[in-house]
């Protein structure tokens, strides 16, 4: 998978188009810019591949769906804040992609300011970051800066970049230490996330139903299914769960999201700790079809730890 060292420079989608693919094995889109948490997870997993920053999650997903890149890495779920619903919904409603692997990253949030504002940071007039990052630091921001407006950005690194490009503004960003270094900011408060156990899951998406190599993974196969229940039957969810229960197929996550067809209409995203190729899973899929469920499988994949303590 990893064939050639490219250094650390990421490229924009425009540059990807302008260049030919011949030198690189994989072009990988990620939620950028450089030094976002998604970048850290991507770089740790694919240190030598061609990394392409995208400004938003839909842009990452469209880049791989349209074949502009081979893989895309997007955040899926945070231990404190829960699912990144934009990713879930986009995968259900807009794209037809597979998960080739899941990356786990330990998340540490810091408050950082422009060096020009070092003496004034206690009087900041705005805190910039990704909404998930701001939510992970809710208690800290509420008790320490309750009067200060929170400004949402497309990523934590985008916030750090904005603070770096606006030295005259007395504002702060919430993000990781790599972003502080990359954008020349000063960390004024470390580890401001509300709970110590803070991790994020990222999906590595592809157009092909393929898997990253199992050798470096945690070894447990996981299959993600998106299930729409038949509308005309009571107890349908109970029946769906019993399909897995009596086969002793463990579920590690179940979440409902709006179908966007009317109030009370949902689809369910279910993670099953099994390979979709094993007979028990094949039987489960057949039984779900017999129950009248629509099932979209995102494929079977393995989990990779991208930081020591993840």
Ligand X SMILES: O=C(O)C(=O)C[C@]1(C(=O)O)C=C[C@@H](O)C=C1
Contact positions vs ligand X (CB under 6 A): 31, 36-38, 75, 78, 84, 107, 130, 132-133, 155-157, 200
Q: Which residues of 251-284 are buried (b: 16+ CB within 10 A; e: fewer)?
A: eeebeebeeeeeeeebbbbbbbebbbeeeebeeb
Residues 272 and 281: beta-carbon distance below 8 Å = yes
Minimum distance of ligand X from residue 310's CB (angstroms): 12
Minimum distance of ligand X from residue 157's CB (angstroms): 5
Based on CB atoms, which residue is closest to ligand X, 80 or 240? 80
Pairwise CA distance, residues 109 & 190, whole Å: 7
Can you point out the beta strands (E) in 119-250?
127-129, 150-152, 172-175, 185-189, 199-206, 222-228
Minimum distance of ligand X from residue 67's CB (angstroms): 24
Pairwise CA distance, residues 306 & 176, whole Å: 15
Count H helices and E strands in the chain, helices first. 10, 16
Minimum distance of ligand X from residue 133's CB (angstroms): 4
Minimum distance of ligand X from residue 174's CB (angstroms): 9
Based on CB atoms, which residue is closest to ligand X, 200 or 300? 200
Based on CB atoms, which residue is closest to ligand X, 129 or 206? 129
Based on CB atoms, which residue is closest to ligand X, 60 or 240? 60
Based on CB atoms, which residue is closest to ligand X, 200 or 217? 200
């Amino acid at each position: 998978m990893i064939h050639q060292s490219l250094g650390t420079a990421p490229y924009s989608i425009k540059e990807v188009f302008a260049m030919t693919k011949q030198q690189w094995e994989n072009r990988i889109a990620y939620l950028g810019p450089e030094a976002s948490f998604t970048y850290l997870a991507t770089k740790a997993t694919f240190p030598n591949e061609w990394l392409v920053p995208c400004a938003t999650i839909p842009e990452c997903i469209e880049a791989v769906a349209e074949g502009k890149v081979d893989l895309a890495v997007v955040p899926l779920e945070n231990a404190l804040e829960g699912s990144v619903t934009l990713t879930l919904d986009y995968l259900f409603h807009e794209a037809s992609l597979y998960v080739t692997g899941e990356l786990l990253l330990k998340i540490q949030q810091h408050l950082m300011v422009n060096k020009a504002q070092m003496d004034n940071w206690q009087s900041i007039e705005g805190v910039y970051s990704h909404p998930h990052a701001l939510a992970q630091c809710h208690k800290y921001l509420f008790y320490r800066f309750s009067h200060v407006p929170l400004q949402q950005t497309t990523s934590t690194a985008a916030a750090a970049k904005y603070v770096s490009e606006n030295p005259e503004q007395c504002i702060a960003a919430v993000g990781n230490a790599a972003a502080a270094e990359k954008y020349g900011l000063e960390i004024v408060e470390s580890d401001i996330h509300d709970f110590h156990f803070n991790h994020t899951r990222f999906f590595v998406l592809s157009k092909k139903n393929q898997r990253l190599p199992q050798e470096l993974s945690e070894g447990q196969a996981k299959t993600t299914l998106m299930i729409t229940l038949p509308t005309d039957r009571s107890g349908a969810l109970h029946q769906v769960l019993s399909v897995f229960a009596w086969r002793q197929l463990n579920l590690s996550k179940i979440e409902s999201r709006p179908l966007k067809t009317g109030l009370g209409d949902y689809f369910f995203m279910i993670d099953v700790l099994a390979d979709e190729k094993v007979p028990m899973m094949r039987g489960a899929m057949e039984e779900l079809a017999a129950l009248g469920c629509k099932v979209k499988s995102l494929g079977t994949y393995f989990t990779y730890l991208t930081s020591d303590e993840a």
